[in-house]
Structure 1
Amino acid sequence: MKRRLLIGALGATSILIAAGVWYLHSKQPQRSGEQALAGLQAPVSVRYDERGVPHIQADSEADLYRALGYVHAQDRLFQMEMVRRLARGELAEVLGSALLPTDRLFRSLRIREQAARMVERADHQSPSWQALERYLDGVNAWQASHPRPVEFDLLGIAERPFTAEDTLSVAGYLAYSFAAAFRTEPALTYVRDRLGAEYLAIFDLDWQPDGAVPPTLAAQDWRSLEGLARLSRQALGEAGIAQFEGSNAWAVAGSHTRSGYPLLAGDPHIGFAVPSVWYEAELSAPGFNLHGHFQALNPFALLGHNRDFGWSLTMFQNDDVDLIAEKPHPTDPDQVWVDGRWQALRHTQQRIAVKGQAAVTLDLRRSPHGPIVNDVLGDAAGAAPIALWWAFLETENPILEAFYQVNRADSLDKMRVAAAQIHAPGLNLVWANARGDIGWWAAARLPVRPPGVNPTFILDGSSAQTDKLGFQPFSANPQQENPEAGYIVSANAQPAAAQPIPGYYNLPDRGRQLQRQLADPHMAWDVHNSQALQLQTATDYGPRTLAPLLGTLRQVAEGVEQRELVEQLAGWTGDYPLDSTSATLFTQFLYELAYAALHDELGDTWFDMLVSTRAIDAALPRLAADADSPWWASRGSAQATDRTAIVRLAWQRSLAHLGELYGSDPNGWQWGKAHTLTHRHPLGQQKPLNLLFDVGPFAAPGSHEVPNNLSAKLGPAPWPVNYGPSTRRLIDFADAGQALSINPVGQSGVPFDSHYADQAEDYVQGRYRRVRMGVIPAQSTLRLLPERR
């Protein structure tokens, strides 16, 4: 009897295993054989290389884009579904009520309404629009004819067609993810209005710019702004969707390269996730060829090259968002004082579906300045409506047409024309061609604000400081074409301009590190020494922040061992290799210094907000150098403090924290133990699904604002990396067929596929793979055929 039961149990187990294997196999991409695809006019060849990148050969652009949509969907349909739901405020329908705040935020941004307007005014007969429609036809054809992805089954996602409004909504999410104002403006306004003028010095900001009057905000309004800033920061992270943060790109003229032809390098810095943000594909049709990096639901490459030209992107970081505190009517909360009179707020209602619960009705209000964004907080919102002026909502922004042209821009003139059509988000396009040209264009519509208005702060809606006097012409934007220096570097720092351009720029350290070496007249650049430049893990930031504090650290260090640690920091070059212990100690000390100096004034929420902005990077070196800064005095403490006291506290806390985590021997505090990279899948947040879907952890070299910008939030160790190079590309136009690239995880977003994580180890180790172009040694070939009639 027991034997029969055992045999039965083994049989049942075998059946379950077989069913599981069959189930997972049914979800895998098809990369060989033949498949009918409705709408094709002729057969299309899709050859897959060893990385799983499709090389699509078609007889027409219509068939080319239809095939791209089809193969993109089979590798990334779940990513497409999640990113459109995020952009359109529809995540709670599949992830539950925990995502309601995120949905409310994205509904309040009015992205979906703007996408609808963009669809209405588009030229539906233009080649770019026709390409978009054919691409979406391919996406929808795959979805309609294949089993749903595993994630759809687990979450109960119902299939529905993808539309042009979805694609343009994703463009809005892209613009939002660049916009630092949602976090930075409330935090810096709080410092100005609640702490005082002297506290702004470390941010290099004026107390009251000429002609600007701060809005009057009550305590409830500040709590409302706390909630808005916190929600903005959490929105993307909780959805598991990659956020855009910064980038490196450079172009070197042939006079400075070993081959005598221009060289292009680029590595956009974006939040890590599974699948990775970029989908690679080579597209070939009569008169058109491009190896591109594509985003979900976009048929046009945002990064790309062929044998004639190529380009990369960095984030401009211009300030294209104003938060505006409206003055409400004393008795009617639906009226605000604008342009010298009371004006009514406009209302619209929307319903948000919630998984397992009744739908929620959202009342959205809009002032003459833009949508009211703090309404998303419900009863927690203050009396002052906070309006949003955003260039994405206020410009025509033909961004799809722009990138259709960028994908074909083989000359300086063509690239300039294409760049001028990018209004939001602000982007730097760094470009080169095989004929010897290099160029850079800061692409954005820059608003002209009244003199003296500083948009770093929340503006007063009842005053003229919120006016927009038009937009700067594109010809006045920062740009370079074939500069005499022979190279171009873009690394998110404030560009040189006749008048400073408001923005939330990265520090210049990373760009200076790149520029110092590219300016070396004795260096002949090629893809090999360019790899070393992309992978560098040092800048001056650490040593220049420490320099004014070393005397104090020597004073507060206790005993021989601590003094030795201080001297190691004094000799540290600002490098972050895996075996460095000084990198670990400095990073912990930097956080403890920030916390001990700033937290007592800011409290939990505002401190957390501030250290998540770029403003903190510039503030901490200034704070360290200013012994008289008011931040050194501890509020609420009976004991007076100064810089020495705060440095002593931060130093001792740093040693105690690292000792508790990694042992009492500082030789065990290696950077690679504390600084790790895990690529997280949206479902990995629900344990134990992380064991199935996440990739990592890996010990990670590099750090915040070094060329190999593997960045973690400023905080206590350990430091999980949250963004960094989303790809690394190197193209020498002597032979673009020998270009190099790497994907942080893998080409496929399908769990258990062989290309799901096959590049992850190479990526973190700093290895590259060759970019195949043209007739390639295919690993497999899929033939897409017209349907028989």
Structure 2
Amino acid sequence: MADQDGAVGSPTPKRPKRPARPKHPRRFRRRFHAGGSLIVTALLLFVLAVGYGPVPALGSALEPGGGVWNSGGNDVASSKTVHLPGMNGAATVYFDSAGVPAVHARSDADLFEAQGYLHASYRLSQLDLERRTAEGRLAEIDGPAGVPSDTFELQSGLLRTAQATWAATPKDSADAQALVAYSRGVNAYLAQVRKSGAWPTIFLLTGVFPKDWTPIDSLAIQVLLTQNLDYSTGPLDYALFEQSLGAERTMAWFPVIAPNQQQPYDPGPYRNLGVSPLPATQNADAAVPPGARLPATDLSTPSDSSNAAAAVGTPSGAAAAATDVLSKLSALPPAQLHAFPDSNSWAANGPAVSGAASLLAGDPHLQTTLPSFWYEVELSSPETQVSGASLVGIPGVAIGRNQWISWSMTAGENQSTFFYTEKQSPDHPGQYFWDGAWRDMQHVHYTIPVRGGTSVSLTVDLTVHGPIITQTGQTTAVTWMGNYPTRLLQAILGVDKARDFNGFHSALAAWHAPALNFTYADGTGDIGIVAAGYYAQVAGGSPWLPMPGTGQNDVVGTVPYAAAPLVHNPSNHVLATANQRPVGPDYPYYIGTSLNAFDNGYRADELYAYLTSHQGMTAADFQALQTDATDVLAQQIVPKLVASLTASGGLTATQQQALSQLQSWNDKMSTDSAAASIWATFWSDYVSGVFQPWWDATKVPVTKDKQDLQVSDGNPSLDEDLQVWTMSDPTNAAFSPPGHPGGTAQSAMRAAFTKAVSDLSGKLGGAPATWQWGRLHTREIPALTGAPGLGYGPAPAEGDRWTVDATEGDDWNSAFGPSWRMVTTWTAPAHGTAQAIYPGGQSENPQSTWYQTFIADYWAGRLRPLPLADQRPATPVMWTLTSGG
């Protein structure tokens, strides 16, 4: 059967998998100015058309989620009347001066058709490239450079999952009707562009043009975003760590429960309610049939015994399989894999706030890009009244506020991806052994069209666990929660309409993947956090490792929604989620390990320290907290470092000056702080100095997954270990690597400090007082094309990995950060005000004045009003959308 884009596949949809996280080289990207746009565009067209040096033709232009420029010049809206087939009545769109539309429609169907038309009008390249990435059609426009991505996504099954979701969605449901209406809006704009020929340049250049939009396309983008937020390769990394460091040291340094004290937003008490079966599904990649087996009663710490009892293959085979998969992932384009979590959201009520029933703040952190993942919109119909951040390709508002409530979200970071080693035998070709019998593998076939090259044939083998991702070393399949058909749009539309916490909580019962922490506040003073999503449970074994696929270790269900992490109106009147583990160590279910990307808790510590020590907070306080640059880890470690250096003596003059900077420091990672530079460099050298000798001695294969296998202060487990050892176990054996007995925390700190001062002297020169953090640390907002002229920055920036205003990046240059900042104030039911900002603009076209509209305010930490759509902008620009054609 042919899918809507022409790739040949099975009629039975299947489920997707997940790529590697984005990194950007530290290149200077000049701020774009409209006056130079034509020269820049002409140069880029040449480079992307023919390739230049290491850049393949069109290669870096087509990263997932990317937008390219239009050929039509400035696309600022002017008043007009547009005829859209399918509209039931007239709708109006009012644009403010920044390009934010307020849409007024007579029904939800007309509302979402208008939204689809708007997304296509200002993000058509982004829409098409996201669709192509999800559905394995990137090479058709990108050429051979897109084949690894297409192969991975078709193998993983994002398109199969989208097809299965649409097949399982009742066509008379609100979410199905929204998807159909949204598709009509996109297609109405496509019809206009086909008639006028005013295509974005990328389509004119390649001669490959978008096909009509379908609901399946929106669902495929939904699964792609899920993949970006929760598909992980942790078990493969654990397999390689065990092969090198050994099983005992691996689990001591990367334990299930982090060794440092953390602040879960749901401290308990907890309930063990068994498991909920996974839903019946038409997706042939589905894991275990519902109710096949139930796991043990205690799911909090799965045992290792069943792994050993049912062992399939060898440790070296598992390592070879892990190596092969990770090497394939390294060939994927940026922005397809899960990035380190840095999101924040918190709320307060009662005496903690002043002049309000409740306050809420949120800043989900993603890759900051031009254009953004978000498109700000205000939507109004008799049924819907909502405003905030919409996701390009999907109707509704994902984060924002309505008349009654407001909400934000952070990534759940639980383990959602499980790897299975399938038992095969030469006596049973094409089969695998599961649940006591030999089973036939299923097969699905694809043809990948390649621009300027030969089409590629692909066959995907499937077991009950999902797609086979490698047969190197051991035949390995992957079970991923994002592969299950899930009606996330049903949840989004339900949240958009919710009027109270019960309605909000009820709507999120339909949210399955990715698992997210949804923070809530309303005009009655209610606040809360709801953990929505699949928290998968296995029958036994060690899910953080690749497991035997013979049946004893299968995923058999999920944590029941009633037992998932939750907090509602806590007695201290404040709550916060910052990607920390949401529950304490006595939670009766397994949700992941310290290596699973749970944050190490330092941002949550700062949030709770601030929130619990303040009364009568206002929106201004919340806004200031969003840009807070206090490093909680430094607060703990620097006094230990100062004490060690003071006691040891013998410092050089430069080292003494550096020590003096630390002694007078306020623990804030400010751009003008020299102590911040000394601290950050010290901690990086401290982590490296303690762990790198072990990595070298045991030959950890870092090149197989540089993101997660290397020694880095970006590894949360290593930070947690070193924090605990420094504070309470200074003679831990880790300080004495092979051949270097007698090491302690004090000796390791002194060595790291000496190296840090030497490093900074060489890099920055001059006296330590001149080593300002802004000279080392920058942020940027790159164009997703990677083009130097179309991004913003880098520029000096505050913060680090552990501050509330968090950053994440290589060489202290961050292209990750708050992708949408929002603060809402509720004074009474239906009386709320909101402010928000995101780094970018409404248009993907660099020649438009709406390309970088919000960046200056964003960089300065300022928010803009976020009204409901019924609060009509004062600008005279208005579109009238009517039926007909």
TM-score interval, smaller chain:
0.7 to 0.9
State how far apart, in whole Å, the 1-side matches of 2:649 and 2:126 are.
52
| Residue number in structure 2 paired with 1:564 | 657
Seen in structure 2, the aligned counterparts of structure 1 residues 556 and 616 have a Cα distance that, compared at 3 Å, is: farther
After TM superposition, the structure 1 stretch with the greater mean CA deviation from structure 2, 67-76 or 582-591, is 582-591
> 1:727: how far off?
1.1
Q: Map of 1:580-595 to 2, 5 A cutoff?
A: 580-595=673-688
Q: Indicate conservation of the 8 Å contact 1:230/1:609, yes or no.
A: no
CA distance in 2, matches of 1:430, 1:416: 11
Matched, 1:438 2:534: no
Q: For residues 209 and 551 of structure 1, do their structure 2 counterparts lie closer, same or farther at Cα, with a shift above 3 Å needed?
A: farther
Q: Distance in 2 between matches of 1:769 and 1:242?
A: 29
Distance 1:171 1:433 in 2: 27
From 736, 745, 755, the equivalent of 2:840 is: 745
Which residue matches 2:35?
none
1-structure distance, mates of 2:73, 2:83: 18
Tell me if the contact between 1:543 and 1:570 (Cα under 8 Å) persists in the aligned partners.
Answer: no
Partner of 1:739, secondary structure, is strand
What's the CA shift for 1:236? 5.4
> In 2 relative to 1, CA 661–78 (structure 1 residues): closer, same or farther, beyond 3 Å?
farther
Alpha-carbon shift at residue 567 of structure 1 (Å) = 4.6
Corresponding position of 1:301: 397
Q: 1:208 to 1:291 in 2, by over 3 A?
A: closer
The residue that corresponds to 1:401 in the other structure is: 490
Distance 1:96 1:640 in 2: 55
Q: Quick one: structure 1 residues 111 and 185, their matched pair in 2 at CA, closer, same or farther if it must change by over 3 Å?
A: same
Identify the residue that residue 7 of structure 1 maps to in structure 2: none
5+ long unaligned stretches in structure 1: 1-15, 376-380
Cross-structure match for 1:189:
239
Provide Cα deviations, 1:722-771, integer angstroms capped at 9, x if missing partner. Answer: 31111110111228664211111222222221121122122122122222
- Structure 2 counterpart of 1:278: 374
Correspondence 1:425 to 2:425: no
User: Pick from 455, 477, 489: which aligns with 1:387?
Assistant: 477
1:767-778 maps to which residues of 2 (within 5 A)?
Answer: 767-773=862-868, 774-778=870-874
Report the Cα distance in structure 1 between the residues aligned to 2:608 and 2:480, rounded to whole angstroms: 33
**Partner Cα separation in structure 1 for residue 524 and residue 723 of structure 2:** 44
Partner in structure 1 of residue 544 of structure 2 = 456
Distance in 2 (CA, whole Å) between partners of 1:622 and 1:223 is 33
CA distance in 1, matches of 2:199, 2:87: 23
8 Å contact kept, 1:399–1:421: yes
CA contact (8 A) 1:323 1:388 kept: yes
**Which residue of 1 is the match for residue 802 of structure 2?**
705
1:477-519 CA distance string (max 9 Å, x none): 1112233322322222112363254233212221121112222
CA distance in 1, matches of 2:70, 2:564: 54
The CA distance in 2 between the partners of 1:23 and 1:102, in whole Å, is 25
The partner residue of 2:621 within 520, 529, 532 is: 529
Cα distance in 1 for residues equivalent to 2:839 and 2:338: 13
TM-score (normalizing by structure 2): 0.79
Give the secondary-structure state (helix, strand or coil) at the position aligned to 1:77. helix
Q: Which residue of 1 aligns with 2:565?
A: 478
Equivalent in the alignment of 1:163: 214
What secondary structure is seen at the aligned counterpart in 2 of 1:128? helix
Residue in structure 1 matched with residue 343 of structure 2 by the alignment:
247
Corresponding residue number in structure 1 for 2:410: 314
Q: Partner amino acid for 2:510? A: Q
Correspondence for 1:123 among 161, 164, 170: 170
Q: Say which structure is richer in helix.
A: 1
Distance 1:41 1:770, change over 3 A: same
- Of 604, 608, 624, the residue aligned with 1:511 is 604
Partner letter of residue 834 of structure 2?
A
Bigger shift: 300-309 or 147-156?
147-156
Deviation per residue, 1:45-68 (Å, 9 max, x gap): 111113211001112222111111
CA displacement 1:592-619 (0-9 Å, x = unmatched): 3333423414243255423465434434
Match of 1:226?
A: 323
**Alpha carbons 2:410, 2:518 under 8 Å: kept:** yes
SS of 1:420's equivalent in the other structure is helix
Equivalent pair of 1:676/1:698 in contact (CA under 8 Å): yes
Deviation at residue 425 of structure 1 after TM alignment:
0.7
CA-to-aligned-CA distance 1:384-430 (integer Å, 9 cap, x gap): 02211112224x42211111111101122211211111111101111
Contact 1:328 1:384 in 2 (8 A): no
Structure 1, residues 624-650: CA drift from partner, whole Å, max 9, x if none?
565555554556xx7778457765664
Contact residue 370 and residue 784 of structure 2 kept, 8 A: yes
Deviation at 1:213, TM superposition (A): 2.9
Amino acid at match of 2:808: S
RMSD: 3.0
Q: Deviations over 1:171-195 (max 9, x none)?
A: 212221122631x222223223432
- 1:155 to partner: Cα distance: 4.8
Q: Distance in 1 between matches of 2:359 and 2:651?
A: 52
- Alpha-carbon contact 2:371-2:784 (below 8 Å) kept: no
Map 1:673-688 → 2, pairs under 5 A: 673-684=775-786
Give the TM-score, by structure 1 length.
Answer: 0.88
Instruction: Quote how far apart the aligned CAs of 1:138 are.
Output: 0.7
Residue pairs, 1:548-627, within 5 angstroms: 555=648, 558-569=651-662, 572-596=665-689, 597-598=691-692, 599-600=695-696, 601=698, 602-605=700-703, 606=705, 608-610=707-709, 611=712, 614-622=716-724, 624=726, 626-627=729-730
The one-letter code sitting in structure 1 at the alignment partner of 2:511 is I
How far the C-alpha of 1:244 sits from its partner, in A, is 7.7
Alpha-carbon shift at residue 113 of structure 1 (Å): 0.6
Alignment length (residue pairs): 749
- The equivalences for 1:322-401 within 5 A come to 322-329=418-425, 334-373=430-469, 375=470, 382-394=472-484, 396-401=485-490
Moved more, 750-759 or 117-126: 750-759
Select the residue among 286, 298, 305 that pairs with 1:211. 305
**Change beyond 3 A, Cα 1:608–1:730:** closer
**Whole-Å separation in 1 of the counterparts to 2:302 and 2:177:** 51
Match of 2:791 among 691, 694, 699: 694
Query: Which one-letter code corresponds to 1:712 in the other structure?
Result: G
Letter in 2 for 1:751: P
The answer as to 2:712 corresponding to 1:662 is no
Mapped partners of 2:617, 2:482: distance in 1 = 39
- Please tell me whether the aligned partners of residues 246 and 491 of structure 1 are also in contact (alpha carbons under 8 angstroms): yes
Structure 1 stretch 332-341 or stretch 90-99: which is displaced more?
A: 332-341
CA spacing shift, 1:234–1:622, aligned 2, 3 Å? farther
Which is further off, 698-707 or 89-98? 89-98
Give the CA deviation at 1:228: 2.5
Conserved in 2, the CA contact under 8 Å of 1:307 and 1:733?
no
Matched, 1:413 2:509: no
- Tell me the percent identity: 27
Deviates more, 1:557-566 or 1:310-319: 557-566
Match for residue 488 of structure 1 among 561, 575, 582: 575
Structure 1 residues 47 and 290 mapped into 2: Cα distance closer, same or farther (>3 Å)? Answer: same
- Measure, in 2, the Cα distance between the counterparts of 1:542 and 1:232: 34
Q: Which runs of 5+ in 2 are unaligned?
A: 1-37, 43-68, 258-300
CA–CA separation in structure 2 for the residues paired with 1:656 and 1:480: 48
> CA distance change for structure 1 residues 256 and 291 in 2, over 3 Å: closer, same or farther?
same
Cα distance in 1, alignment partners of residues 725 and 227 from structure 2: 30
Aligned to 2:859: 764
**Which deviates further from its counterpart, 51-60 or 620-629?**
620-629
In the alignment, the residues of structure 1 paired with residue 393 and residue 876 of structure 2 have an alpha-carbon distance, to the nearest angstrom, of: 25
CA offset at residue 278 of structure 1?
A: 1.2
> Which residue of the other structure, out of 516, 519, 538, is the alignment partner of 2:630?
538
Alpha-carbon distance, 1:208 to partner? 9.4
Distance 1:593 1:517 in 2: 28
Cα offsets for 1:153-177 (capped at 9, x unmatched): 3454422112211111122122211
* CA deviation map 1:63-98 (0-9, x unaligned): 111111111211111221222222222222222323
Question: How far did residue 460 of structure 1 move?
Answer: 2.5
Q: Following TM superposition, by how much is the alpha carbon of 1:290 offset from its aligned partner in structure 2, in angstroms?
A: 0.8
Structure 1 distance, partners of 2:649, 2:748, is 10
State the Cα distance separating 1:226 from its structure 2 match. Answer: 3.0
